[in-house]
Amino acid sequence: GHATTFGYTPMGRLAAVTNPLGEATHFAYDAAGRPIRTTFADDARTEISYDAAGRPAAFTDEAVHAWRVAYDARGAVVAVTNPAGGATTYSYNLDGTLQRMSDSDVGPVSNRYDAARRLVETVWPDGARVQYAYDEFGALAAVVDALGRTNRYETDADGRLAAAVDPLGKTNRFTYDAAGRLTNAVDRTGRAMAYEYDLVGRLMAVVDATGVRTEFSRDANGRITGLITPTGTWHVERNLSGAPVALQTPLGRRTDFGLDALHRVVRVTNALGQTSTRAYDARGRATAGVDPAGRATAFAYDPRGLPAGIQLPDSNAVAYAWNALGRLETLTDFNGAEWTFAYSPMGRLQSATDPLFRATLYGYDANGRLAYLVHPGGETTGFTRDANGRVLRIQHSAGPDLQFQRDALGRMTQANDVDRAYDAEGRLVSEAHAGVTNAAAYDAAGRLEWAAYSNGAFAVHYEYDNYPGGAGRLTAVSDSLTGTQIDFGYDADGRLRTVTLPNGEVITTTWDDLDRLTRLQSGEQVDLEMAYDLSGRLTNAVGFAPLDPSGHVETAIASLTFDAASQISSPGFAHDARGRVTATPERTFAWDGASRLTSIVPSTTNPQPSTLSYDGFGQLRTRAEAGNTNRFFYNPAIAGAPLVAETDAATGAPLRYYVWTPGGRLLYVIDAADGNQVYFYHFDATGNALALTDTNKAVVAAYAYDPYGRILASTGTVTQPFTFSGAWGVRQDGASGTLYQMRARWYDATIGRFLSPEPLWPQLAEPKALNPYQYAGGDPIRFVDPSGLFVNWASGAQVFTDAQLDAYLAGGMMGLMALLLQDVDLDGLSMDQIRWGLALAGVNEENVRRQLHDRFERRKAEHLARHPAPCHGQPFDSQPQRPPDPAQEIAAQLGRVPALNKQTARYQPVSLEPQSSSPASELSRLQDSAPEKMVGIAFRTLNSEDPAGQTLAKALIDDGILTPANLPGNREPFPEPDPAPTPPLSGSLTELGADDLVAEILFSPGALWSAGLRPPVRRYAIPAAAHKPIRRAEAPPAAPLPNPGDILDWMVGPEALRDYARSAVAPPPLAPNRFQGRRYPDLQKTRNDAFSRVAAHLQSGDMAGAREAMDALNQAERDLTDYGRLNLFAPLYKE
């Protein structure tokens, strides 16, 4: 059988835990019975030491880095020193409330309290003040930010959050049933989501504002076995232990999983019968994966479990080195070149140096926020912020000077000469520039319904298949100017099958059982069939198109040389100090301080230079050449904020309009300069325009390309810029056929590279993207990069998950993403450009915006509701006072994967009804029921465009449990590039269970093998305080004592800080009172005694006694957690 065994010392303390694979973790104790050492199966160890009073004084990790804690005479923590020498200090009032906190990088943060010892004001180092008010019952009623804007909160008679009112007076409302379960949630625009439960309280259905209903089916044990949508049922098959072993789509496509004794996926057999395998080390970390073609990827780790190296098939290895705080110190790429990074003692990035020894320097303000940059070559970028820390101005010493205005919710309403407006839910409703306004309106489900062009000259209407019988999928797009309408049809798995044009042409797509496009028929113009190898790589594409590239192949041999920083060093090429290309043999380029291309000069005898200008959001606004200037207009309500209109800048006359799907896929162009003629696009599988046809089916333009986008041949007289990757909004510059604007960057097809480095480099989870100039991961046959930021690795319009956002936050050099999410980056990149990147990398921009906004608002409201300030002498209970989260319910019903998350062990009340006859296994079951160990459920991939799926997914995302991906109903109505061999960034690569894998692939079966083969990207820098992730035993201890690392984790670990670090509230409204009347050793003893009683009652079969002891154990666990939080980490951090 698959048994986990436990060994004990003569004193009854846990001595060893051996998993079903025979891998053992050992525990050692001092004479007082305190845990002092954990030795893992690979002989790595962590140690903890105590002071004379028995308090944890130091923790040493696997790499022998030590964290030290100092206390005052009352037992309160007064300092925590990290291995780099950075110190965080604390001082207290006489009543034990936290008065001041500071660290080695940031000045003091001060707190003020009322007579009831509730936090009423926090003052930050720059003088910014945040104030708190409470109702008559002591619950938080209002928070006033540093700009005087108020968020109000209302609770019902049971203390649950009933309403949250923002500074604009817009309200979110929540309703509960008699059992306290959330039954109705109404957003600021009045849209309602309903939740239904069975007789035992399990979530059974979600109904959105349009009536679209999503239901769950369950087995006799309450585990979810099916997802029932209006278009069909998805089935999950489980083994006797409840672990999923198969997944089946509504069309009967089946994926099987092979599990090891720890329920980790070691084998995946896809719907075509192809099998992939993977292997793990003694710590449960993925060490190798082999795809169906036998191509292997290998991973190596340092003693702390941080990735040390990645070996991809057919390439050299990438190596990583980390400092004592777990921050990237050295990156060695495939060619052996090294990038180095230096940090302050608290872990703030101070410099980044490339292989040519060019350094970028970073400076911070009193609050620890980025204040300025010094670029290689001496150019500088400075940031001005409001009292809430939001960027109001970016000054580049080489220009431009970008200035922003924001509304009461912090949304950017003006950027230089562009104005924007939003609805109550934060969705963009208009953008105005140069006297022209483009607008948008949304339906009851929050989907784009109308897109108005050019001051209302005409509008594009979007229709969806709603309840009954529908799934919220896009079914038609039409415009009021020409009366054109395009219709879309889908199969039972939600994949697009037909696109019907008004001229009678039909675009038909055929998919294999792995969701790969195998045939594309675009009217009478295009018929292509695709074949793939066992690794999923496109090997053949045969058929016909108006122009055959094979008949226009140019024979040319070019040999380029490169320097250590991946820059071209061949004759004729030049770069500036910031790595931007300034010359090629064909052209010269000029750049502004925000790394925006401003001039293109051909290398000819009588060159006609092109001059480019941009708005405050980084959008290209004008292009001037040979005395002619075109002006460009956009609609950010459409994913990717694409170009929707061109005008003659001199006369204002419209030239062309472009019509898109809500997900940012180009459909047709209206030639306003030629009597509003309509031309329809015909794209290949990667979004290259092969032909345009008119309303009579005649071909009016055709193109042929090489793989990197050079136009080899073209015919026709229609003028339009969307050719190579044009379906995604990539624009060709002029008639050269080699230079393309890919939003954040410009791309030169002649050399197959971008002209400037990757703004978000390095993305550590994407080893193939370590070359900062590389296009499409070096594989333009399968992938595209229309945003200039993210390779489009997968088909469909995915939601960009919390885990992915976190990974990019961690992976960006200089912490770029953290800055980007504040609407600015170091090279002038705006949040819009990030949204473009997310949308066109398979992410719906509207969903990203809504997720970020909703996550901010909900976490803020729930954090404020769950942490009421305790009064002196009253018992303190830190349990959440908030609406029941459907995520917790669903995760609990889906079973568990013990290896899913070992960062901490927090034990919550669970059922004590025996599930087995073995007391030891029963105790293990109780411990495994901790929410942090429950799997992200299979149905976390709920459709982000389907309102039911969207709302549920948002609820599940909020607590980091679920990871929405692409439900079939949310496919964009065109074939996308083929799935990549790299998975979404959710979950942990090192500990991937079957439920987690099902969740990753449920609605994207083409990514079967790839799920789980991504190295873990861990971040510890937000907030910048002394804390450290602790490695855990392979199985939770089934004995009275916790894992040794838990103590410091509870006090200073990332889990103890998570609510504060990720809270959207400047400081949490928790009065940071030192725990009154009980010292840490007393709490530890209470916890250990309770754990002993649970074990004793279970061994004797006394379940009633076990229930009572478990309640005491839960309370002791909470007390230990609160002890650390109250003495250390409130009111800590301000975003």
DSSP string, 562-609: B-TTS-B-STT-EE-TTS-EEE-SSEEEEE-TTS-EEEEEESSSS---
pLDDT digits 0-9 by tens, 167-189: 999 999 999 998 888 899 999 98
Q: pLDDT tens-digit profile of 1114-1134?
A: 777 666 655 443 333 322 222
Burial-class residue 457 by CB neighbours within 10 Å (0-12, 13-18, 19+): middle
CA dihedral 648, 653, 659, 660 (to 10 degrees): 40
- Model confidence over 13-23: pLDDT tens digits? 888 989 888 89
| pLDDT top residue among 163 and 316 | 163
> In sequence order, what DSSP letters do the residues of 923-941 get, joined into one string?
HHHHHHTSGGGBPPPGGGG
Cα dist. 42→62, 459, 1046 in Å?
A: 11, 64, 20
CA 606/CA 1077 separation, integer angstroms:
86
Q: Compute the average pLDDT of residues 1071-1100.
A: 60
For the stretch 67-126, pLDDT in tens is: 999 999 988 889 999 999 999 999 999 988 899 999 999 889 999 999 888 999 999 999
pLDDT at 125: 94
Task: Specify the pairing of strand 526-532 against strand 517-522.
Answer: antiparallel
Give the N- to C-terminal CA distance of the chain in Å, as an integer.
50
Segment holding 1105, helix H or strand E: helix 1103-1128
Token pair, residue 539, equals 């090997």
Per cent of the chain over pLDDT 90 is 39
Pairing of strands 699-705, 711-716: antiparallel
Q: Which tens digits make up the pLDDT trace of 746-766? A: 999 999 999 999 887 776 656
User: In this structure, what is the dihedral angle of CA atoms 572, 575, 580, 584, given to the nearest 10 degrees?
Assistant: -10
Q: With 60 as the cut, is the pLDDT of residue 651 above it? A: yes
Q: Does 909 score more than 60 pLDDT?
A: no
CA distance 514 to 1006: 4
pLDDT of 52 over the 70 cut: yes
Q: How confident is the model at residue 469 (pLDDT cuts 50, 70, 90)?
A: low
Q: Which helix or strand (DSSP H or E) is residue 402 part of?
A: strand 401-406
Report whether pLDDT(247) > 50: yes
Query: Cβ(381)–Cβ(395) under 8 Å?
Result: yes
Q: How confident is the model at residue 512 (pLDDT cuts 50, 70, 90)?
A: confident
Residue 960 in this model has a pLDDT that exceeds 90? no
**What is the model's pLDDT at position 542?**
80
Give the closest residue to 339 by CA, choosing from 811, 749, 15: 811
Please state, in angstroms and as integers, the Cα–Cα distance from residue 1055 to each residue in 898, 1023, 1058, following that order. Answer: 17, 12, 5
Concatenated DSSP letters for 610-647?
EEEEE-TTS-EEEEEETTEEEEEEE-TTSTT--EEEEE
Whether pLDDT at 541 is above 60: yes
pLDDT of residue 735: 63
Q: Is the pLDDT of residue 235 over 60?
A: yes
- Residue in 14, 77, 83 with CA at minimum distance from that of residue 51: 77
> Which among 668, 666, 644, 642 has a CA at the least distance from the CA of 655?
644
Mean pLDDT is highest, among 112-126, 917-931, 933-947, 1065-1079, for: 112-126
Structural tokens at position 1004: 């994207």
Cβ distance 530 to 519 under 8 Å? yes
Q: What is the pLDDT of residue 1053?
A: 33
Average pLDDT, the chain: 73
Q: Give the model confidence (pLDDT) of 879-901 as tens digits.
A: 222 333 332 332 232 222 222 22
Residue 477 has what pLDDT? 97
- Under 8 Å between Cβ of 711 and 670: no
Residue 769 has pLDDT above 90, yes or no: no
Write out pLDDT tens, residues 581-604. Answer: 999 999 999 999 999 999 999 987
Question: What pLDDT sits at residue 550?
Answer: 59
C-alpha to C-alpha distance for 8 and 288, rounded to whole angstroms: 34
CB 925 within 8 A of CB 916: yes
Mean pLDDT, rounded, for 1047-1059: 32
Q: What is the pLDDT of residues 353-375, one digit of tens each?
A: 999 999 999 999 999 898 999 99
- Give dist(CA 123, CA 112) in Å, integer: 8
962 or 417, which is more confident? 417
Check if the beta carbon of residue 78 is closer than 8 Å to that of residue 91: yes
- Give the residue from 179, 237, 180, 201 showing the smallest Cα distance to 889: 201
**Where is mean pLDDT largest: 218-232, 560-574, 798-812, 936-950?**
560-574
**Is residue 1080 very low, low, confident or very high in pLDDT (cuts 50, 70, 90)?**
low
How does pLDDT run across 713-740, given as a tens digit for each residue? 999 989 999 999 999 999 999 866 789 9
User: Does residue 672 contact residue 708 with C-beta atoms inside 8 Å?
Assistant: no
Contacts of residue 197, Cβ cutoff 8 Å, sequence gap at least 6: 177, 179, 181, 203, 204
Report the distance separating Cα 1097 and Cα 822, nearest Å.
53
Position 736 scores a pLDDT of: 66
Beta strand residue intervals within 177-250, DSSP E: 182-186, 192-197, 203-207, 213-218, 224-229, 232-238, 244-248
> pLDDT at residue 848 above 90?
no
The rounded distance, in Å, linking the Cα atoms of 616 and 718 is: 31
Per-residue pLDDT band at 315 (split at 50, 70, 90): confident
